[in-house]
Structure 1
Amino acid sequence: MNILFAGKFEADYNRTKIIIDGLQQTPGVQLSTYNFYTRSRWNIFALRKACAKADVVFLPSFSHRDVAWVKLWTRKPIIFDPLISRYLTKVFDYKKVKEHSFRAKKNFLKDKVSLQAATKVICDTQAHKQYFHDTFEVPLEKMHVVEVGVNTGEFFPQQHPQSNKFVVGFYGGFIPLQGARYILETAKVLKDYHDIEFQLIGEGFEYKKMRALAEEYGLTNVVFKGWVKYDQLNAAVNTFDIALGIFGDGLKAQLVIPNKIYHYAALQKAIITMDTPAMREVFTGDTNIVLTSQDPVTIAAQVLALKENPQRRETLAAAGFKLITENYNQQKIAGKVVAIAQQLLQP
């Protein structure tokens, strides 16, 4: 089976990389690519030639603009992996676009046209699948869930120097769905516990705002580590004693299980994150993860409970590690993509 990855996409983006790495390890699958970083460089002849050699065309994450375009030049089945709704992200999550504005309608149409043009759509959670159905009228039978997963060759437990602090860690781009404010407010609740340190890795959308908030609160128990290169992330996160997931206010936070959750589990870390429908699709509270509210006092209590009970911490971490590394590694994720492609190729 030849699967062509087409469109404007970043092959090293986590979601796409996991699928590519898994497919490269799958017997009987041959990968090819047609990737241009600007639409003006599309070569229709080359695109058609690439599509002609493929059995299935795969449009990776964020390639919304390219789905209908590619469809113009091939009759091969198209699998589209949107990962996000541009409309939901820009209008309701980042709030960069007013809800009833022309730009909002434009983003709505970019989502709807791309989702409708694809032969099959893959979604990272059942909750996201339902959102696409309810909002853009995509038939449920057209969509399949392929979780984000993790590349276990890149994220795995490592030995690290012991710290004299109990490290409560987080990494991310400080985007709204991550709810970094609630992490800082949790640190504020625990500011008198001098043996606990909150380490926040990354930069991004609300980073400066969160730095200012930490200064306003006078938080000496929070360390902003800054940006860490992808190939150094495994080592950095391995230094955490426990890991914090997402606590965002918006709808998007209810629909996704982000990269970091899979990464934390693959590193055998006990995880505390907000209780959402999406999280419950994969994880089970108090069995392989701690699911909690956004309330900083409640989150702080969960941090203290794990700190004071190393055995429970290790049990949660081991169960999460087993769940994710056995069921959501790159080969398992790629296998779901292959199954969808095989379904499309049946007579």
Structure 2
Amino acid sequence: MMAAKNDFLKFDYNQFNRANLFKIVSKFGDPKKLRIVYISTYQPNYTRTETLLVLMEKSQIKVTKILVGGSKLKYFRAIYNLIRHRKDCDLILVAFRGQEILPILRLVTCKPIIFDSFISIYDTLCFDRRIFRPESFIGKCLKAYDKFLCKISDVVLVDTKAHKEYFEKEFGAENVDYLYVGCNETLFKPLEINKKESGFTVFWYGYANPLQGVDIILKAAKLLENTEILFKMVGPVKKKYSKLIDSLNIKNVEFVDFIPYERLPIEINKADIFLGGHFSDRDKAKRVISGKTFQSLACKKTTIVGDGSANRELFEEGGLVHFVNMNNPQDLADKILEVKGR
């Protein structure tokens, strides 16, 4: 089940990312001469931060890193370090989860800011997580805040063309561009693995957020219960979907609460099929490509993804990539059987 070439890609996204990053940064001067400060208050090893820093390094763009995620005083440290460096920098790149601190950073400096928004908090909290109604007071405030963040940034980054178009339409932003997530290809790569488990394994991992469609995977697993197919799901699945798991009485799913990030390439390589997703029918699921999809494909693993606009803009059916209708357990189960039979 390993394709000899990247016949599943419509174009080389790594090459696209390098060219587009160079184009974006060139708006503010010579990319190889600019002094750039990269600020992240989120996890230092988060995939988006990891891939962006590697991308800038490969593009010979010099960066001063302020990585303060995990610190109790992370916001204070971020502001303090920016004040220290603001006279020595030409451009600031505020990383994912910068929504929490960007307005303060804008007050601290008048230097150009590239804001890696990555997601919309309005979309996430009102339509993805459905914590607030979009027409509620808080929903309207969240939408206004997203608009404000776009306005005070010189460039807003997202992760796909489909997501860029959403920001332009929903928030009237004219300064949005995109870079694909990608992955750490020195870590995620094909490995020679001796499988100890018998049978056929389908692997998925994640935070079990609504847009990922964990319920769809569980229902598909139930449909395949009388086959030799075993599902392995890593993350807080049992905690978040305990009622569904109990009602389905699933016998062919192994639940694992946590696996260290460094072990993920081993687990992906051990599997016969990887579920990249997303599988829910939420609009955001259609506009993004999961980071785990890039990781699986870097491992040259057969990967099933949801048939959304973002996945379609980069991938083609065949080779390693197979599309399924979103929010459709039967289609997912059928596709797993189809791929297994090849």
Superposition deviation, residue 116 in structure 1: 1.1
Q: Which residue of 2 aligns with 1:233?
A: 264
TM-score of the pair, normalised by structure 1? 0.82
Counterpart of 2:226, as a letter, is: D
Question: Of 280, 300, 305, which aligns to 1:248?
Answer: 280
1:39-54 pair list within 5 angstroms: 41=76, 46-54=81-89
TM-score of the pair, normalised by structure 2? 0.83
Change (3 A) 1:231 1:212: same
Question: Of 21, 33, 47, which aligns to 2:66?
Answer: 33
Q: Which residue of 2 aligns with 1:338?
A: none
Matched, 1:97 2:132: yes
SS in 2 for 1:243: strand
Q: What is the CA deviation profile of residues 88-116 of structure 1, one whole-angstrom value per residue up to 9, with x for unaligned ones?
A: 11111111122222322232232111111
Whether the 8 Å CA contact 2:66–2:78 is kept in 1: the answer is no
Matched, 1:127 2:162: yes
Q: Which residue of 1 aligns with 2:13?
A: none
Q: Which residue of 1 aligns with 2:248?
A: 217
- Identity %, equivalent residues: 29
Between the aligned partners of 1:240 and 1:39, the Cα distance in structure 2 is 38
Change (3 A) 1:207 1:63: farther
Superposition deviation, residue 287 in structure 1: 4.4
After TM superposition, the structure 1 stretch with the greater mean CA deviation from structure 2, 292-301 or 89-98, is: 292-301
Question: Of 182, 198, 201, which aligns to 2:234?
Answer: 201
After TM superposition, the structure 1 stretch with the greater mean CA deviation from structure 2, 209-218 or 53-62, is: 209-218
Aligned residues: 304
Q: Which residue of 1 aligns with 2:108?
A: 73
Question: Of 281, 290, 294, which aligns to 1:262?
Answer: 294
1:15-30 pair list within 5 angstroms: 15-30=48-63
Question: Of 203, 211, 219, which aligns to 1:177?
Answer: 211
SS in 2 for 1:238: helix
Counterpart of 2:314, as a letter, is: V
Q: What is the CA deviation profile of residues 248-271 of structure 1, one whole-angstrom value per residue up to 9, with x for unaligned ones?
A: 121110110011110110111111
Whether the 8 Å CA contact 1:244–1:271 is kept in 2: the answer is yes
Between the aligned partners of 1:83 and 1:153, the Cα distance in structure 2 is 23
Matched, 1:88 2:115: no
Consecutive unaligned residues of structure 2, counting only runs of 5 or more, are: 1-33
SS in 2 for 1:216: helix
Consecutive unaligned residues of structure 1, counting only runs of 5 or more, are: 310-347
Whether the 8 Å CA contact 2:234–2:256 is kept in 1: the answer is yes
Which one has the bigger helix percentage? Answer: 1
Between the aligned partners of 2:75 and 2:66, the Cα distance in structure 1 is 18
Between the aligned partners of 1:217 and 1:68, the Cα distance in structure 2 is 47
Q: What is the CA deviation profile of residues 252-298 of structure 1, one whole-angstrom value per residue up to 9, with x for unaligned ones?
A: 10110011110110111111121000001111122441111132222
Superposition deviation, residue 32 in structure 1: 3.3
SS in 2 for 1:157: coil
Q: Which residue of 1 aligns with 2:37?
A: 4
Counterpart of 1:191, as a letter, is: E
